[in-house]
């Protein structure tokens, strides 16, 4: 197999993987935020005097919810622009041809 | 800058993703991360120190007002969340909050501003502008966020051992979260407890640093990608993302501080009350 089709194969699979990471992360985060926001509104409706404190806690939880999705996004963007799998293929090609 | 006419988008992105590295391999240092974070640390330290020196009990000036608000806010958070006695926690929390916020805020500067300045400054010294790299957001760098979180991790271990004693801490690793009174059951559950505790202990610094890194890396990359679009699209998109990113910056700095306080509070707690 020539190097171009190998690299294209790896890049294509990486693109699918990046899409999965983005999508599943977004899915989990969206559902989590929905539940979090719903509970927050419920709490504010029950006890309006606590709404400031609850809002602060909500943003705290929002930061935690974002965490794994953002980690996934960070790493998958790294894969998009500097794919280590492609570097491995290129290194293997260098070894084979020398 | 005649080189910019020939730069492809890929090269532009790669240029903005490269650090100003000195040295090679394991011993390479990202000088841009180190210098910017040190400078911001000095800015924070010096400005807060000046506020403390010039503090009046009369009508406060604007800067003193801001510093008092921040210190009061952090103090309140520490009082609510920290269940031990330790004089280090509140100053540590304040430092983490303001320093991480300042480092994150460097993402708000235009993407090409400081790197282009660095290229212009480098030219009289004969540096090739295409090889002048500058990444101005220190928390963009995994090394920086891991430095922060590993410091917190070391503090966690240190305080755990100091408050509970080395034997007490080891005992806690083997008997929590599944605590039983039967000796046979204790021996049976010791290994699962240890595994769970190891995973939890390792996950704390990892998640702390990678959360901040992921947020800042994705944010900066989005700014770089927006910079590649035509000018009439850049303004609304940039504005929207900047406003959202301001919120994210503040939340991430606050979250780092809160989790530090929570983890250190857990390190001070002895579970005998359970």
Cα A31–chain centre separation:
14
Q: Residue B30's closest CA among B155, B181, B140, B170?
A: B140
Q: Does B105 map to a domain? A: yes
Average per-residue pLDDT in chain B?
Answer: 87
- Is the CB of residue B138 less than 8 Å from the CB of residue B103? yes
- Domains of chain A by range and CATH? 3-81 (1.20.20.10)
Question: Percentage of chain A surpassing pLDDT 70?
Answer: 99
Per-residue pLDDT reduced to its tens digit, A1-12:
688 999 999 999
pLDDT band at B272 (very low <50, low <70, confident <90, very high): low
A66 given a catalytic annotation: yes
- Domain carrying residue B190: 2-269
Q: Does B11 map to a domain? A: yes
In this prediction, the answer to ipTM > 0.90 reads no
Write down the pLDDT at residue B273.
42
Write the secondary structure of B145-204 as one string of H (helix), E (strand) and C (coil): HHHHHHHHHHHHHHHHHHHHHHHHHHHHHHHCCCCCCCHHHHHHHHHHHHHHHHHHHHHH
Judged against a pLDDT cut of 70, whether residue B110 lies above it is answered with: yes
pLDDT band at B149 (very low <50, low <70, confident <90, very high): very high
Q: Does B274 map to a domain? A: no
Per-residue pLDDT reduced to its tens digit, B167-225:
988 888 888 777 778 888 888 888 888 888 888 888 889 999 999 999 999 899 889 98
Per-residue pLDDT reduced to its tens digit, B41-86:
999 999 999 988 888 888 888 888 999 999 999 999 999 888 888 8
- Is the CB of residue B139 less than 8 Å from the CB of residue B100? yes
Number of domains in chain B: 1
Residues of A in contact with B211 (CB under 8 A): 63, 66-68, 70-71
Choose from B73, B218, B244, B259 for mutation: most chain A CBs within 10 A: B218
- Beta-carbon separation of B213 and A73 below 8 A: no
- Beta-carbon separation of A70 and B215 below 8 A: yes
Q: Tell me the shortest Cα–Cα distance from B149 to chain A, in angstroms.
A: 15
B77 shares contact with chain A (CB less than 8 Å):
no
Mean pLDDT of B24-46: 91
The pTM of the full predicted model, rounded to 2 decimals, is 0.86
Give the separation between CA B143 and CA B145, rounded to whole angstroms.
6
Which residue in B207, B209, B265, B273 is the catalytic one? Answer: B207
Q: Residue B266's closest CA among B145, B86, B100, B92?
A: B86
Average per-residue pLDDT in chain A?
Answer: 89
- Is the CB of residue A77 less than 8 Å from the CB of residue B217? yes
**Cis peptide, bond prior to residue B230, ω within 30 of zero:** no
Q: Does B115 map to a domain? A: yes
Q: Does B258 map to a domain? A: yes
Q: Residue B208's closest CA among B156, B164, B161, B160?
A: B156
Q: Does B211 map to a domain? A: yes
Q: Does B72 map to a domain? A: yes
What letters, b where the CB count within 10 A reaches 16 and e where it falls short, cover B91-110?
Answer: ebbbbbbbbbbbbbbbbeee
Which residue in A32, A66, A79, A90 is the catalytic one? Answer: A66
Q: Does B264 map to a domain? A: yes
Write down the pLDDT at residue B61.
84
């Amino acid at each position: 197999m020539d190097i171009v089709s190998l690299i294209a194969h790896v890049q294509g699979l990486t693109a699918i993987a990046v899409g999965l990471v983005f999508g599943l992360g977004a899915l989990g985060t969206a559902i989590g935020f929905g539940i979090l926001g719903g509970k927050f509104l419920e709490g504010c409706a029950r006890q309006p005097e606590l709404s400031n404190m609850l809002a602060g806690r909500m943003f705290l939880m929002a930061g935690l919810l974002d965490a794994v999705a953002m980690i996934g996004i960070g790493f998958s963007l790294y894969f998009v622009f500097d794919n280590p799998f492609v570097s491995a293929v290129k290194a293997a090609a260098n070894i084979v041809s020398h | 800058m005649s080189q910019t006419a020939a730069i492809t988008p890929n090269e532009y992105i790669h240029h903005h993703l490269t650090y100003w590295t000195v040295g090679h391999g394991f011993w390479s240092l990202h000088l841009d991360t180190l210098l910017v974070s040190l400078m911001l640390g000095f800015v924070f330290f010096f400005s807060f120190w000046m506020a403390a020196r010039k503090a009046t009990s009369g009508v406060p000036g604007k800067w003193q007002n801001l510093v008092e608000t921040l210190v009061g806010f952090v103090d309140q958070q520490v009082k609510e969340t920290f269940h031990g006695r330790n004089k280090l926690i509140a100053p540590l929390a304040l430092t983490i909050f303001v320093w991480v916020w300042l480092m994150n805020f460097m993402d708000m500067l235009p993407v090409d501003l400081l790197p282009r300045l660095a290229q212009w400054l480098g030219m009289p010294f004969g540096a090739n502008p295409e090889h002048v790299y500058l990444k101005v957001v220190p928390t963009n760098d995994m090394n920086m966020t891991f430095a922060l979180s590993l410091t917190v991790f070391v503090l966690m271990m240190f305080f755990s051992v100091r408050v509970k004693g080395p034997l007490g801490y080891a005992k806690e690793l083997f008997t929590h979260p599944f605590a039983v009174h039967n000796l046979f059951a204790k021996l049976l559950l010791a290994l699962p407890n240890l595994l769970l505790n190891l995973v939890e202990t390792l996950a704390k610094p990892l998640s702390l640093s990678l959360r901040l890194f992921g947020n800042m890396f994705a944010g900066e990359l989005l700014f770089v990608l927006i910079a590649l679009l035509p000018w009439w699209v850049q303004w609304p998109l940039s504005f929207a993302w900047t406003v959202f990113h301001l919120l994210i910056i503040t939340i991430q700095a606050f979250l780092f501080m809160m989790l530090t306080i929570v983890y250190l509070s857990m390190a001070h707690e002895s579970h005998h009350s359970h």
